Amino acid sequence: MLHIHNGDVVAVRARRAQIPGTHLAFRESLIGGPILTPATRDEWIEARAHWLSETHGQHLLRVRNDLIAQDDALAAAMKEDEVVLWFEHDLYCLIHLLYLFAHVGAHHNLTLIWSPKPLSEPTEDELRELWESRETVKPSMLALAAEAWRAYAGADPLALNRFISTDWPEFPFLREGMALHASRFPSTYNGLGEIANRTLGEMAFAPVDFLTLFDRFNEAVPRFGFGDTDVMRELRQLARGDVALITIAEVEGELPKAVFTLTPAGENVIAGEVDYTKLTDLDCRLGGAHLTRERMWRWDAKARQLIAQSPSLAS
């Protein structure tokens, strides 16, 4: 029996709870960086390894080898008598779950623990109860997951709107998760995605330290589920843009003590007086979509849908 967990924390706790089987921590960050489809295995691993190495400051060879080993482990999982997926209702987990469904969804005995609450919270006894209550993944959920992954990984994100406009009883949290991802696109209100709007909103009245900011961001429901390095990467981009929206007073090696302050430009953008996309040369990837000033999509929060922006409006 193979258990696949979204990261190391729950994998370690499940081992300590003596839940039988092998426990594999899935280590990726598919909410960022290039999502290449179609792509060969070598093309995928090379693109992901370069981005993860640059983003997290790790040696490229080590990251590449880790991704190869992980991909080999997923291929070998098909020989297990059962594969159990442990994931939570947040965007980070959802994207990884969709990816794993695409890789091990054909397993003859695939089961799932799809938890509305963080899996780091239950006691060891409660983890064992969760394991015993795992459910077989239904074909309807797998089919829907395959479509959702194609929408996430596709070059045209308008395919996401279908998943945002409909409830999916066979796949709880799918609608909320796809809406969370879509909200990361530049908003029609001020050109910032939801992550930037949430974090900058915490700085509106006074400077704030990273630990306080991250705790408030991470506890907000529905949850993105991002780690501290993911949130910090977003914040640094706002500080290093063509026009800085924030300043960061940072002590090297002391991430929790970093302090963030809105600049006058940041105050204007948060107030909706200036559109951020007019202040920066946009070049980023969200899922399979590559956003530039010439090719952009916007999140309309009132209509709850993504819309394509014409090049004339982006200039």
Residue 298 phi, psi (nearest 5): -120, 150
* pLDDT, tens digit, 9 for 90 and up, residues 257-308: 889 999 999 999 999 999 999 999 999 999 999 999 999 999 999 999 999 9
Tokens of residue 166, six digits: 């409909």
In angstroms and rounded to an integer, the radius of gyration of the C-alpha atoms of the chain is 20
pTM summary value: 0.95
> Which among 11, 43, 38, 15 has a CA at the least distance from the CA of 25?
11
* pLDDT, tens digit, 9 for 90 and up, residues 26-67: 999 999 999 999 999 999 999 999 999 999 889 999 999 999
Cα–Cα distance measured from residue 176 to residue 166, given in angstroms and rounded to the nearest whole number: 10
Residue 313 contacts by C-beta under 8 Å, 6 or more apart in sequence?
Answer: none
* pLDDT, tens digit, 9 for 90 and up, residues 120-148: 999 999 999 999 999 999 999 999 999 99
Residue 195 contacts by C-beta under 8 Å, 6 or more apart in sequence?
Answer: 184, 217, 224, 226, 231, 234
> Which among 79, 192, 87, 186 has a CA at the least distance from the CA of 130?
87
Q: Which amino acid is at 169?
A: P
Cα–Cα distance measured from residue 175 to residue 162, given in angstroms and rounded to the nearest whole number: 9
Domains and CATH numbers, the chain: 2-137 (3.40.50), 187-281 (1.10.10.10)
